[in-house]
Amino acid sequence: MSYCLNPSCPNPENLAHTELCQACGSPLLLQGRYRAIQVLGQGGFGATFLARDEELPGHPHCVIKQLRPAASSPNVLLMARELFKREAKTLGKIGNHPQVPRLLDYFEANQEFYLVQEYISGSTLQQEVRGSGPFSEAGVKQFLSEVLPMIQYIHSQQVIHRDIKPANLIRRTEDKKLVLIDFGAVKDKIDPVKAAASEQTALTSYAIGTPGYAPPEQMAMRPVYASDLYALGVTCVYLLAGKSPKDMDYDPATGEMLWRDYVHVSDHFASVLEKMLEVSVRHRFQSANDVLRALDLEPYMDSLAQSMVTANRPPRSPKSGMGRTIGNSNEMSTSSPTSRIAAAIRARQSRNASDATSLQPGASRHQLLRKPSSSSSDTATGSTSSSRGGSAKVMPRLTAEELLEAYSKGRRDFTSHNLGGLSLQKADLSGASFHQSKLQKTNCQNANLFNADFGRANLNQAVLKNANLARAYLSHADLGGANLRGADLSYAYLSNANLRGANLCGADLTGAKVSDDQLATARTNWATIHPSGKRGFW
C-alpha cells in the first residue's frame, strides 16, 4: 500500500506502486524517494509512518515523522522551522549511539516538516510484558544495567527524552539490544497565541510526556534530567508488576504512587526505586550514574547480609564471631537499609586498596568480599556451612511436595535452601527465587522456571532438559555438567556462570547474556541457537 501524506486527503490509502494519490492527486513519493506504507501513530499536530526508501537497493524500511504546525501565520512557521532544525540537529547528534535510532534525513515540504529515521524492528517492553508476564527483580536490574548508560549518554548531550516508558523501548530483533525511540520531535507544539504576542523562539507551552510516567515538574513544563529517571522508575514498576501507573493508587497527600503492594523486591532494590520515584525532584537521583552507583552497592549488601544474624535473633556481640567484621557491629546487626548502605560504603572505601591488588581476571568484587566457607557439606539430606570464627548454619531442607505446596500458596522466596536431588519434573516455579540454593542433581525436566532467580545457585549435574528458563537469572550459578538439552534460555542472564560440561544441544540462547568463553566450555550442536539468534556450533 502507498499512503498519502496530505493531512487533508479524504482517502489516503492507495495501491502499492501508485505515483499520485487517487483521492487528492498529491505525489506519493516524498522527496522522490520515500514511500509511506503504513501509519504508526497519529495526533492533532503530527503523524508517524512506516516507509520504504526506494532510492536505495532493497528498498529498506525507515520511519517518517511529519510535524504539522498548529497555525500557518509567518510567525508560527518561523518558530516551527527553528524548533524543527534544533530537533533535527539534536537527533543527528545523539543518533550516533547504537541504542538510539539514526537520523537519516530531514526537510520541509509544503509548510510541513519531515524527519526520516532508522526503523527499529522488534517488540516493545510493553508487548513483552503483555505476552510473557512481568519481569523478575533480576530481570529489571539487567534492564537498568543496559538502559542507564544510554540515558547518561543522552543527558551528556544536553537532551531530555521526556517520554521514557515501556512502549518507547524496543528490543531490537537483530541483536536483542534495547533501543529508545520517540524523542518527541513530532510532539512539540507551537502555541499560536504566544507566538503572536512574543518574538521569542521559545520551546512550547505543551507539556510533553505520558501521564503516570512524567513527574510533576515535567507536567508543569519544567523538565530536568532527573525527570527521565522518574519515568524510568515507573517503567521498572510496570515491568515488575505488569500494571500501568494509571491502575495503581496514589497518596492523595503527597501524590506518590503506592507501588510497594504490587511488587516483591529486596529492601536494597526497593530503596533504589523509592529514590527514583521521589515526587520532589530535589530528593530524587540527579543522574543515571547516581542510580548505577546505588545499584553497584548491592554486592556489598549481599556480603554484609552473609555476616549478619537472621532477623528473628538478637544482635550478636562482636566477640561471638561473624564471618567478617566490617564497620561497627551495632550497625551491622540492624536490618535498616540505610544503616546497611552506610556500612557498605565504609566497607567499600576500606577495601579499595586490597581489591586493586587482589582482584584477578574473571573474579568479581562480590566474590572477593564473600567469605569462603572453611567447611561445607552438600548432601541429599542436608547442608551445613561455616565461616571462620562463625557458627555453623544449617541450610533449610524441603521435600518436593513441601516446595510445591508452599509455591501454590504464594511463597516465592526459597533463597539458600537445600533442594538437591528433588524430582520437580513439569513443575511450575516461574518467578521463584532460588538464590544461593543447593539444587545439584535436581530433576527439573520440562519445568517452568521462567524469570526465576538462580544467582549463585548450585545446579551441578541438574536435569533441566526442555525446561523454560527464559529470562532466568543465573549469574555465578554452577551449571557444571547440567543437562540443558532443548532448554529455553532466551534472554537468560548467565554472566560468570559455570557452564563447563553443560549440555546445551538444542538449547535456545537467543538474547542470553553469556560470553563465547563460557560457551566454549559447554556442549553444543547444530540445533543450538546462538545469543544472536543464529543456529549452529560455536
| CATH code where residue 438 lies | 2.160.20.80
Its domain, for residue 32, covers 2-118
Single out the residue in 73, 94, 118 at which a domain terminates.
118
Query: Do 147 and 255 fall into the same domain?
Result: yes
The CATH number linked to 290 is 1.10.510.10
Query: Do 235 and 126 fall into the same domain?
Result: yes
Report the number of distinct structural domains present in the chain.
Answer: 3
Residue 228, Cβ neighbours under 10 Å: how many?
A: 26
Which of 59, 12, 52 has the alpha carbon at shortest distance from 34?
A: 52
The CATH number linked to 37 is 3.30.200.20
**CB within 8 A of 523, min separation 6: which ones?**
501, 502, 503, 504, 505
Query: Do 82 and 134 fall into the same domain?
Result: no
- Is residue 204 packed enough to be buried (19+ CB in 10 Å), middle (13-18) or exposed (0-12)? middle
Residue 369 maps to a domain:
no
Q: Residues 163, 188, 290, 302: which is the catalytic one? A: 163
Q: How many CA atoms lie within 13 A of 504 on its CB side?
A: 31
Query: Do 167 and 241 fall into the same domain?
Result: yes
Single out the residue in 90, 118, 146 at which a domain terminates.
118
Residue 404 maps to a domain:
yes
Query: Do 167 and 90 fall into the same domain?
Result: no
Query: Do 148 and 237 fall into the same domain?
Result: yes
Residue 246, Cβ neighbours under 10 Å: how many?
A: 10
Do the beta carbons of residue 248 and residue 242 sit within 8 Å? no
Residue 439 maps to a domain:
yes
Residue 258 maps to a domain:
yes
Query: Do 168 and 280 fall into the same domain?
Result: yes
Residue 386 maps to a domain:
no
DSSP states along 33-70: TEEEEEEEEE-SSEEEEEEEETTSTT--EEEEEEE--S
Sign of the Cα pseudo-torsion (187, 193, 194, 198, in order): positive
Query: Do 132 and 213 fall into the same domain?
Result: yes
State yes or no: is 163 an active-site residue.
yes
Residue 340 maps to a domain:
no
Residue 495 maps to a domain:
yes
Residue 219, Cβ neighbours under 10 Å: how many?
A: 14
**CB within 8 A of 255, min separation 6: which ones?**
216, 279
pLDDT in tens, the chain (538 residues): 899 988 889 999 999 888 999 999 999 999 999 999 999 887 655 788 999 999 999 999 999 988 876 666 777 777 777 777 777 888 888 888 889 999 999 888 877 889 999 999 999 999 999 999 999 999 999 999 999 999 999 999 888 898 999 999 999 998 889 999 887 644 444 444 444 444 333 344 455 788 999 999 988 888 899 999 999 999 999 999 999 999 999 988 888 999 998 999 999 999 999 999 999 999 999 999 999 989 876 554 444 444 443 333 344 333 333 333 333 333 333 344 444 444 554 454 444 434 433 333 333 333 333 333 333 333 333 333 333 333 334 466 899 999 999 999 888 888 889 999 999 999 999 988 898 899 999 999 999 999 898 989 999 999 999 999 998 999 899 999 999 999 999 989 998 999 999 999 999 998 898 998 999 999 999 889 989 888 865 4
Burial per residue of 360-390, b for 16 or more beta-carbon CB atoms within 10 angstroms, e otherwise: eeeeebbbebbbebeeeeeeeeebebbbeeb
Distance of CA 337 to the CA centre of its chain: 23
Query: Do 72 and 141 fall into the same domain?
Result: no
Query: Do 64 and 134 fall into the same domain?
Result: no
Residue 111 maps to a domain:
yes
Query: Do 412 and 457 fall into the same domain?
Result: yes
Query: Do 98 and 161 fall into the same domain?
Result: no
Single out the residue in 95, 118, 141 at which a domain terminates.
118
